Amino acid sequence: MEIGPTSYLRVDGASIVDGSGTPVRLQGHCLGGWMNMENFITGYPASETLLRRALLKAMGPEAYEAFFDQFLADFFSEPDAAYLADLGTNAMRIPINYRHFESDEQPKVLIEAGLKQLDRAVDTLAGHGIYSIIDLHAVPGFQNHHWHSDNPTHWPLFWEYADFKARASWLWDVLADHYKGNGWIAGFNLLNEPADEEGDRLIAWYSETARRVRDIDPDRMLFLDGNKYSTDFSMFTEPLPNTVYTAHDYVMAGLDPHGHYPGKLDGRYPGSAKGDVNNKDTIHEQFLRRTAFMRDLGLPIWIGEFGPLYNGTPQQAEERYQLLEDQLDIYRDYQASWALWLYKDIGLQGVVFAATDSPYVVLLKDFLAKKERLGADSWGGTDEHIRDVVDPLESLLGREFPTFNPYPWGAQKWAARLLRHILISEALIPEFAERFRGVSPTEARELAASFRWESCTRRTGLEETLRLELAKG
């Protein structure tokens, strides 16, 4: 592993600065879908663990290992880093899943291969002058209710069991020791989008884990997400030293895949319906709400995730670029650092994506259409084609349980998670895996190579929006 600059980035008042005291505004992407896979990024249903289990059964161990070895090698490599540097990027947030570093069968026994993969990304980025923020995106027991913490259920059990919390802290011990002295690590993002209904358990875990990291590496900068999926800082009080608090800033007008919200807004940006509030003023107000803790205490602001979807019409894509430009304007006004979600996928949100004629996308074409029709993905999916099932369920809940309001987003989202994102998604897993049955190791590598940078398509409108913004510094 190459060692980076001898000086670390650190917090100085409301700024992040380098060793000479010069402010550094971190601007870049999130490498979602690589060391923590997500269903909408690469097209599978449900959670990564269920996907891997099904593929191993369908492909057999040799082809399975060939696919994932090639996938990890090609999803992010030297040409990706060179491209990002050419755009003007200076930071990459790297989501990781604990399963690359330990197993549930052998907890707290380090898997060296995971560390080598992470080293490769950090060193490759450093070679192009790009900082890394290591983001623990999935922990034992699951810190939130969703697929992106590799949760096959709808319960964040991380908060209920001391062993889960201890294992996550142990992993940060390992990473702190391993990367001690490497200044190309901008910092450690201790936990992605926590959802602790009580709140005090999150604060306690943050405090203990920060103490352990600083016992090993006293000067390492930390990044702490707010509660309720990094939107709620109400339980935070005195800030920890040398710590950046991070908000996630998704705007609803940029997320509906077909540009409409039945019975609500029309989904256009800026809004065109009477009473529609999709405009720069309202996204500014959301930013101010979500960053009040940082601004009130004079701390740096980092937007750890944000970004619209691009799977609508060409006109809608142009509107989404305008939304993105407006967000970036706001962040620049407040000198907020940011990490855009997402760098690479199969076409929903990434600045580059696997080509429509690539072996992987061709193999899954009809399956992806079915998954979209059934609304199996929480991110980018819609229930418009299964309202005959959803309407009676929502009516039942409203009629029989009018006060049912589960944390964090209420009954409607709770029902969607159970019906679409668990039941329907799990039913789709065998069908997805069957596409890979009989694939040879050579064919498996060819499928995974669909994510190689040279084989991907660049989203030119998004690329130019980012290039222009990054040129402003």
- Residues annotated as part of the active site: 193, 305
List of residues 6+ apart from 87 with CB closer than 8 A: 351, 463, 466, 467, 470
List of residues 6+ apart from 263 with CB closer than 8 A: none
Q: Is 339 exposed, middle or buried (0-12, 13-18, 19+ CB in 10 A)?
A: buried
Distance in angstroms (rounded) separating the CA atoms of residues 231 and 465: 26
Cα dist from 349 to 255, 308, 312, 441, 461, whole Å:
10, 7, 11, 30, 12
Within 10 Å of residue 95's Cβ, how many Cβ atoms? 24
DSSP bridge partners of 94: 134
Could you give the residue ranges of the DSSP H alpha helices within 254-313? 280-290, 292-296
List of residues 6+ apart from 211 with CB closer than 8 A: none
Within 10 Å of residue 203's Cβ, how many Cβ atoms? 16
Place of tokens 């490498």: 31
